[in-house]
Amino acid sequence: MEATINYTFENYVSEYAQSLYRYIYSLIKHPQRAEDLLQEALISAYLAFPSLKEETNIKNWLYKIALNKCRDQWRKQQSERQFLEERLPALYEEAKSPGADELFVKKSNREEVERIIFCLPEKYKEPLYLYYFEQMSLKEISEATKLPLSTIKTRLRRGKAKLHPMIVEEK
């Protein structure tokens, strides 16, 4: 169909919207994202519609806009993927880097750290001692103390929180 004064943009949308959606979906393979890209393509087309020449094939023009929106999406995904590939290893290293308490335990002498740990309430002493000095895993501590794993995790976290101010004072 040729663009004519009698045919409004809404008429073109009602005529081509379903086929445009199927086209975008065939390229993207994601229903919600295809709907979003269809909306973006229609908005772009609506904004450019008044400057359209009458001899332009509207259907081809709409499909070209939709294809360009898909290409934009692919470029965006590629740059996000590239960012994650470059940044993710650094984020992982930051996440697994030792905390202040672990550094203190490694750098300080054993007696000094034991003294600080033994100043804590009884329920925190054992998990901290087994974790830092006996190098036991959380599961092993749970089995050795006959306490649930979640209890060990909680006591270790709370014990570290109580240990941290004492470590800062010692430094």
Same domain for 89 and 14: yes
Last residue of a domain, one of 34, 63, 96: 96
- Segments forming the whole domain that contains residue 41: 9-96
Tell me, yes or no, whether 75 lies in a domain.
Answer: yes
Same domain for 146 and 122: yes
Ordered per-residue pLDDT tens for the chain, 171 residues: 444 445 788 999 999 999 999 999 999 989 999 999 999 999 999 999 988 887 788 999 999 999 999 999 988 888 777 766 666 555 555 445 555 556 555 555 666 767 777 788 888 888 888 887 778 888 888 888 888 989 988 988 888 888 777 766 655
Same domain for 112 and 61: no
Tally the residues of the chain.
171
Separation between Cα atoms, residue 149 and residue 151, nearest integer Å: 5
- From start to end of the chain, where are the E strands? none
Nearest to 16 by CA among 70, 69, 63: 63
- Going 96 to 92 to 139 to 120, the CA torsion angle's sign is positive
- pTM score > 0.85 for this model? no
Same domain for 162 and 109: yes
Same domain for 146 and 117: yes
Tell me, yes or no, whether 4 lies in a domain.
Answer: no
Count how many domains the chain has. 2
Tell me, yes or no, whether 43 lies in a domain.
Answer: yes
Query: Which alpha helices (DSSP H) does the chain contain, by range?
Result: 9-28, 31-48, 58-96, 100-107, 110-117, 122-132, 138-145, 149-170
CATH number for the domain that contains residue 27: 1.10.1740.10
Specify burial of residue 82 (Cβ count, 10 A radius: 0-12, 13-18, 19+).
Answer: exposed
Same domain for 67 and 30: yes
CATH number for the domain that contains residue 127: 1.10.10.10
